[in-house]
Structure 1
Amino acid sequence: MLWATLALLARGAAGLPPFELTALGFGIAAVLGLAVVALRGRLRALRQPPLAWLHGVGGLFGYHALYFAALALAPAVEANLLNYLWPLLIVLLSAPLLGLRLGPRRLLGVALGLLGCALLLLDKGAGAAAGPDAPLGFACAAAAALVWALYSVLARRLAAVPTEAVAGFCASAAILAALAHLGFERSVAPTAGQWLAVLLLGLGPVGAAFFLWDVGMKRGDPRLLGTLAYAVPVASTLLLILAGEGAFGASVGIATLLVAGGGMLAATARDGGG
């Protein structure tokens, strides 16, 4: 539910350079997260090995820098949906990286979810006309999907790292983004509307969502979570359309049915029989 608002809020902050937006969003998430961790007396949870920091900071910073760049360069609806290849990649990578069995029922659920996203992506009326920077934007969206899938699946191998450490990862991601912004971008003073969007990003899809996702990937079934995550691009696309960022079409309704059906198949799959 939180990630369904990510694209809409990112569009609400449109005009801010990608690294600046990443730094501001993660800065807010870090301040709030570290405050909660400190109040719980868990600051020692930030003491993690270098591999954990490389995984956490690289995943959070890399994904969002690529995602915000994609939305800035390419039509919002199409870039957003291409980014949502990550649920498919999570399910597929669970087999080689975690040794988890997929099975025909779960694979069928993944295929239905992917088909729903593909219908939306191929709907020419879904988004605005593509500009000359669109190919680079689409490439950033695809790269973002791969980065987030790897981050999510590999989190299972780092299950001993407490979720409180995510607050430190957010702080480091904010610092890296700020340095990249100062080195490669021109600063833009946010308007009141942009500040509101940034605040909501830091509270929700760039804040609380990561702590919840960390718990889910470490304690839940990544195959099921990856399949159910196909509900996010549908909800996200609907929000973009309602906000005037795209046009409603029959493909959205069909995609919703495909995603819901795929999620039900995956949810009822058994490890023994697929």
Structure 2
Amino acid sequence: MSATLLGVGALALWAFLGLLTRLAAGLPPLQVTALSFAVAAALSLTLVAARGRIGTLRVGLVAWLHGVGGLFGYHALYFAALAFAPPVEANLLNYLWPLLIVLLSAPILGLPLGRWRLGGVALGFAGCAVLLGGGARFDPSAWFGFLCALGCAVVWATYSVTAKRLAAVPTDAVAGFCAGAAALALLAHLVFEEWVTPGAAQSLAVLLLGIGPVGAAFFLWDAGMKRGDPRLLGTLAYAVPVASTALLVLATGGEWSWRLLLALALVAGGGALAARA
């Protein structure tokens, strides 16, 4: 249970991911990815070295591909989603990943689902259908951001569930994965984007991202998914969109439309139903 509680700590930090991303608005998505991971890598590598565990970074190629690919892929897509689509809706759509964790735990890990978890998954998908369909009006360019948000959910759910298969990889190795993700994001930024000098508020947002949601949260999540219960963490994660969406609405001055409230209730309610299992 202690390892599962570490995963819960990661969920609490991720509630602030959308808010801090909005505070960094104006910076290109890949630049935000590179800078935030650079902060996370600098802090975590310093801590690992101070503990005399730098040797834990020597892991296999599969572990490096899994770690760097998962961290870079998810965050590059997430930052792009909030840059190109309405942030509140894109953020909520990103939170398909908890229900995808529940679904993928069955074929990948051989864990049973049961009717309660399947019912919760169905409610979560219904919430996303309410959010994007049935008369919802968005700028055509927003759909690219929504596709990025869907990509977030798939990448992070796959990364999280398959982490159980790499339980032998020490959690300290995440520090190296953060450095790899920072380098990959910087390379992609130099190829596809132009550098924008961050202002004071943007710099603070990037720093806080690197310390919390893009830093400490990964170590907590890695420990929770490898040594805890991925089904329980996947269902508890449904509480995160409630807090994250509320913070984003407050930060952006948005309104609590009936569509957003219903979608949020379905997504969070799906998690509560699945948690009954």
Give TM-score scaled by structure 2 length. Answer: 0.89
Q: Structure 1: which 5+ runs fail to align?
A: 270-274
TM-superposed CA distance for 1:226, in Å, is 1.2
Aligned equivalent of 1:169, options 163, 169, 177 = 177
User: What fraction of aligned residue pairs are identical, expressed as a percent?
Assistant: 70
Match of 2:80 in 1: 69
Match of 1:140 in 2: 148
- Residues 253-268 of structure 1: matches in 2 within 5 Å? 258=266, 261-268=269-276
Match of 2:18 in 1: 7
TM-superposed CA distance for 1:132, in Å, is 3.8
Is 2:74–2:152's contact at 8 Å kept on the other side of the alignment? yes
Cα distance change on mapping 1:138 and 1:106 into 2, 3 Å: same
Match of 1:104 in 2: 115
Aligned equivalent of 1:24, options 35, 43, 53 = 35
Is 2:242–2:268's contact at 8 Å kept on the other side of the alignment? no
TM-superposed CA distance for 1:257, in Å, is 5.2
| Helix, strand or coil at the partner of 1:246 | coil
TM-superposed CA distance for 1:263, in Å, is 3.7
Write the distance in 1 (CA, Å) between the matches of 2:257 and 2:267: 16
Matched, 1:243 2:254: no
Write the distance in 1 (CA, Å) between the matches of 2:253 and 2:176: 34
TM-superposed CA distance for 1:255, in Å, is 5.4
TM-superposed CA distance for 1:249, in Å, is 3.4
Deviations 1:122-141 (A, max 9, x none): 5988xxx7334212111111
Greater percentage in helix: 2
Q: Structure 2: which 5+ runs fail to align?
A: 1-11
Deviations 1:169-210 (A, max 9, x none): 000100111111111111000000000110110111111111
Match of 2:211 in 1: 203
TM-superposed CA distance for 1:267, in Å, is 3.3
Write the distance in 1 (CA, Å) between the matches of 2:201 and 2:134: 30
Matched, 1:216 2:227: no
Give TM-score scaled by structure 1 length. Answer: 0.90
Of the structure 1 ranges 108-117 and 48-57, higher mean CA displacement relative to structure 2 is found in 108-117
Cα distance change on mapping 1:138 and 1:257 into 2, 3 Å: closer
Letter in 2 for 1:25: S
TM-superposed CA distance for 1:40, in Å, is 1.3
Match of 1:227 in 2: 235
Cα distance change on mapping 1:186 and 1:253 into 2, 3 Å: closer
TM-superposed CA distance for 1:106, in Å, is 2.1
